[in-house]
Amino acid sequence: MSTNPRQLGKYELRERLGSGGMAEVWKGFDTQLHRYVAIKIMHANLQNDPEFITRFVREARAIASLHHPNIVQIYDFQTVNPSESSNSLAYMVMDYVEGQTLAEFLRHSSGLGKSLSATDIVNLFASISRAIDYAHRHDMIHRDIKPANILLDKRNTTNNPMGEPILSDFGIAKLIGVSSGTVTGTWLGTPMYTSPEQVQGQPGNVRSDIYSLGVILYEICTGIKPFRGDTITAIALQHITTTPTAPDLVNSDIPPALSKVILRCLAKDPAARFGSASALTAAVAEALNVPIPADIRAASSSEDATYPMDAPTVLVQEPGISQSRAMSSPGATPVQVAADSTVRSTSASRTGQGSLETPVGGRPAISSLVDTGAEGATLLTTPAPPTAPAPPSTSVPGKRRRGLFIPLIALVILVVLGSGVGAFYWLTHSSTPTVGTNQSVGHVFLLSSGQVNEQSSQGINDELQVDLGHLSLPAHGKAFYAWLLSDKKVTEPTSILLTTLTVTNGGVQFHYTGDAAHTNLLEYYSRFLITQEDASPTPNAPSLDQRNWRYYAELPQVVNPADNFSLLDHLRHLLAKDPTLESLGLPGGLDIWLFRNTQKVMEWTGSARDCWQGHDTTCIHSNLVRILDYLDGKVYVQTDVPAGTPNLVNPRIAPVALLEFDPQNQNPPGYLYHINKHLRGIIQAPGVTPEQRQLAAQISTELNTVTNWLERVRQDAKKLMAISQAQWLSPASLSILNDMETRASYAYTGQLDPNTNQNQGGVLQIHHDIERLATFDVTAYNSIR
């Protein structure tokens, strides 16, 4: 039988609605009941699985047992000649929902300026949550929630103007017989919305569905997806290894409380996510100051609030508990609330060199995203998005390495994904509408794409995010051009034309994605300039006539005679090139190597603990030696391991310890000590701002905390090295391994303080904070500089 028949039993196939990796969907007509239906026909190539028909009947029956107004109702399911033909068909017949999908709505909204109010968002998620929680109570996990699987019933607009959401494709992934991400080498579903644990080959659970909802919520509120890439593998790796850019950094009009809700959904550790869809919706409503629907409030009230809103998006482990060490790059198109309280999606424009997307419309206050309770609900808009800042690679090794996880981890280790959690706005705009001399009009900050390797500094600080306000308009026939300039005192000055600026309502926001080589911009450039020049032709270099210079910023370059470093020098040592590391063949600056090496220590502590479960003392030994190699460095590790123990890590990396043992003589110095030394220099550097000084002091405190945690890891490793390998399999040794794993996790991801509900920063937070130090504070240009 053909896979494209015009008739299936009593059903006429009228119109093919779509085709995907698992099935094709037709609009059909039931000739007996005289009604339109939707028919999902499973692809023939999937039926090579000899268990497919049995599984299809079992799972289709379970799906058909779901009866909820926000779940597509299954009317019928059939197999055709299952024993007689290799081309046997299996299909399901379901309610035909007239209307577009949420994916189509979001796509059209981006181009047509449609809007969602805060109340609309809460109502949308309330309807979806009711369906998901209902299914979860009936032991049915969706496993493939995405906008394309949310139908908007235009026949019912009582609660949702765009149409009542109806969830489709419940349990299809399990029906196909695949619990992880691939079907005979082909991605199952859309990788944009798949949870980290599913990518790693795990079957998915209730909180996997919550993760997918979080991706959708991120997309609705920012206009971009938290992860994207050129290949499925790149996207999959980002779900495992990358922390998404905080939504309120992509769109500063998003309330911080809502940003925390979204990031909690996207936590790499499933246990840190919301326990139910209703709990998520209640949190969204509270963050947007919208009344929580009564049934949602009741359903969410029983959830244990063990994980507060500001729980990190990577795993934070509790002492003695070995949780799944699941892990958390670029995005799509952001949302912005317009000044008239309407959140609109507008198409982006690309100009100049590099990839730039400039949103249309002004940037209203953050509070405009929150429903004030007035008669007219505040609206969330999706303005023309800047390309999402590329977040950093923040891999946290997974507990059970099965399925896709093994090759993915191998790839992560080979590639060593890099830094740059992306846009951390330095300060908010001044509320004063006019700009005086030296008054900030906004900020430019460096981002990292994560396209890194260990042989160069590429992929680190290779992008820029520009966020400016209170700008004047260029004169008639003129245009504003944005440039990056090299240092003041260089023999051959260079510049990069970033873009021709379009000022809308006094504001400019765009994302510069760098060059094809992912050059570290901080290594070569230190000044930002906006010139006013003829609109045509586009200049190749900035005007030498400083009367045409309109806005300017620089990273201070005056040397402090006390240490012979400028602020720029300190930043470059941290983020671009440190001479000591360069001499050892370690490019990229101190920060990225602290980040990488602490990450590896955390991975090895988890591996050692897993080895205990497998009663593998050789494996435990190898991981303990590697941990001490990184903590102690090549020289000092000899005092912590038995004589003659070989170094088990990359000999290029081995000489530099994470810890410091002798500040006077240790050469090279340990990463934590060395970075702290530069932070002290930044605090004293000429031109440092009060905000930079305060942030440097904060990072220094965080480094001291990390030092204590890593010293605890070292002591645990030494305890184990001091006893026989036979004793390593005892319960007492397991307790030490658990503690070592926990402390290493704290050192990397930070620890949640139960008293304050604040995350005590680990290296992940330090990495973000150090990037924030290299922020340009843009002011009106003053020729007297």
Compute the distance between CA of residue 603 and CA of residue 598 in angstroms, rounded to an integer: 9
Sign of CA dihedral 399, 714, 411, 233: positive
DSSP string, 563-626: TTB-HHHHHHHHHT--HHHHHTT--S-HHHHHHHHHHHHHHHHHHHHHHHHTT-HHHHHHHHHH
Look-up of token digits 């949640």: 752
DSSP string, 617-655: HHHHHHHHHHHHHHHHHHHHGGGTS-TTPPP-S-TTTTT
The most distant pair of C-alpha atoms in the chain lies apart, rounded to whole Å, by: 91
* Cβ atoms 122, 165 nearer than 8 A: no
Token representation of residue 429: 């705009």
Residue in 120, 133, 144, 569 annotated catalytic: 144
Compute the distance between CA of residue 470 and CA of residue 462 in angstroms, rounded to an integer: 27
* Residue in 464, 560, 586 with CA at minimum distance from that of residue 518: 464
Compute the distance between CA of residue 627 and CA of residue 722 in angstroms, rounded to an integer: 15
* Cβ atoms 222, 337 nearer than 8 A: no
Beta-strand relationship, 527-534 and 549-554 = antiparallel
Q: How far is CA 385 from CA 19, 51, 266, 424, in A?
A: 29, 46, 21, 17
Whether residue 144 lies in the annotated active site? yes
How would you write 240-296 as a 3-class SS string?
Answer: HHECCCCHHHHCCCCCHHHHHHHHHHCCCCHHHCCCCHHHHHHHHHHHCCCCCCHHH
Instruction: Give the helix, strand, coil percentages of the chain, each rounded to 5.
Output: 35, 15, 45
Which residues form the catalytic set?
144
